[in-house]
């Protein structure tokens, strides 16, 4: 059969064709994070069903389950139970506060003796659905499947033994990159796309945002309402409409520590840093700057008196 020849039509469905074949998973499942410990508790169940994951990682208020690489043999006694995998994945996204906002590119690929089957685990209205397509094996599939003859030793296993250390080190490096936030920073919005919100510091401070390597450089300068003297600061505090604005005036006048928050589309903090305003006391031309790590899902830079409820990494 030529490379582009049309494969022969499939005969009656026969699941035994896939037993003793090979399979692998690839893709990612992600969405709003819920109880992360409960989510990670599903990993052993998924692994027992054949879906091994690198881990479930959290960044920017979202979890990500990444399927581990590797070809595996389909157990002859029970086959690959994709419905059981679907059930566990559905139980996993049910732990998300918004299962309907989860997204999936997770896919199982099976190669049998005569057939190939791909199954996508798609998220639909907060549930997981299996979408499969099946076809006859083509000549070009042989190299990828490398199906061993009955009783023969799979040559791939020997290569895997030689490469197991390299694979482990590679996965460890990828895991460290993922943990460091580099992946999220690569897909973060540009600095020019972010909104600026001075919050209670409106008029007191001027915000500037510039791009930095894998981050955003935030510069603060004196604003038009920056108090010119301690007396002016006291008078402005007494005239302030609420305690938050009065606190912001006091923080500016005293050169206190304030917080630069990075918010997502729901105005929830996903990053940030503290910044001392003391250098601004020295003169009008002085400024202070800091760099925030860029994050996927970032929407707004906001100045605040506190780090933000629930955020621990500022």
Query: Residue 314, Cβ neighbours under 10 Å: how many?
Result: 16
Q: What pLDDT digit, counting tens, does each position of 245-287 carry? A: 999 999 999 999 999 999 988 888 888 888 899 999 988 889 9
**Residue 249 in tokens:** 């005036």
150 — pLDDT class (breaks 50, 70, 90):
very low
HSE of 86 in the Cβ direction (CA atoms, 13 Å)?
18
Q: Over range 185-207, report the average pLDDT.
A: 87
69 — pLDDT class (breaks 50, 70, 90):
low
Q: Over range 119-135, report the average pLDDT.
A: 90
The crossing angle, in degrees rounded to 10, of helices 243-254 and 230-239 is 170
What is the model's pLDDT at position 19? Answer: 63
Of the candidate ranges 4-8, 28-32, 84-88, 195-199, the one whose mean pLDDT is the lowest: 4-8
What is the model's pLDDT at position 281? Answer: 92
Q: What pLDDT digit, counting tens, does each position of 109-118 carry? A: 888 777 888 8
Does the pTM exceed 0.75?
no
């Amino acid at each position: 059969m030529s490379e582009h020849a049309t494969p022969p039509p499939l005969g009656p469905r026969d699941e035994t064709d896939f037993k003793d074949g090979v399979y692998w998973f690839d893709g990612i499942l992600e969405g709003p994070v819920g109880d992360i410990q409960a989510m990670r508790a599903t990993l052993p169940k998924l692994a027992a069903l054949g879906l091994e994951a690198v881990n479930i990682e959290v960044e920017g208020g979202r979890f990500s389950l990444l399927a581990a690489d590797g070809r595996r043999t389909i157990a002859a006694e029970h086959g690959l139970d994709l419905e059981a995998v679907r059930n566990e994945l559905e139980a996993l996204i049910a732990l998300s506060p918004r299962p309907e906002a989860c997204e999936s590119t997770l896919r199982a690929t099976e190669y049998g003796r005569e057939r190939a089957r791909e199954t996508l685990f798609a998220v639909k209205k907060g549930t997981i659905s299996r979408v499969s397509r099946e076809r006859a094996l083509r000549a070009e599939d042989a190299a990828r499947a490398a199906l061993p003859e009955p009783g023969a030793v799979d040559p791939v296993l020997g290569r895997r033994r030689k490469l197991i250390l390299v694979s482990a080190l590679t996965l460890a490096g990828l895991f460290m990159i993922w943990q460091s936030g580099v992946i999220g920073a690569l897909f973060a919005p540009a600095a020019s796309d972010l909104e600026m919100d001075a919050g209670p510091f409106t008029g007191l401070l001027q915000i500037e945002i510039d791009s930095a390597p894998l981050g955003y450089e935030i510069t603060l300068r004196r604003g038009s309402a920056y108090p010119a003297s301690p007396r002016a600061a006291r008078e402005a505090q007494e005239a302030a409409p609420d305690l938050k604005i009065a606190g912001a005036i006091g923080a500016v006048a005293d050169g206190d520590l304030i917080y630069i928050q990075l918010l997502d589309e729901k105005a929830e903090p996903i990053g940030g840093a503290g910044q001392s305003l003391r250098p601004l006391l020295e003169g009008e031309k002085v400024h202070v700057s800091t760099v925030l790590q860029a994050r996927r899902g970032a929407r707004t830079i906001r100045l605040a008196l506190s780090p933000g409820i629930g955020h621990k990494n500022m």
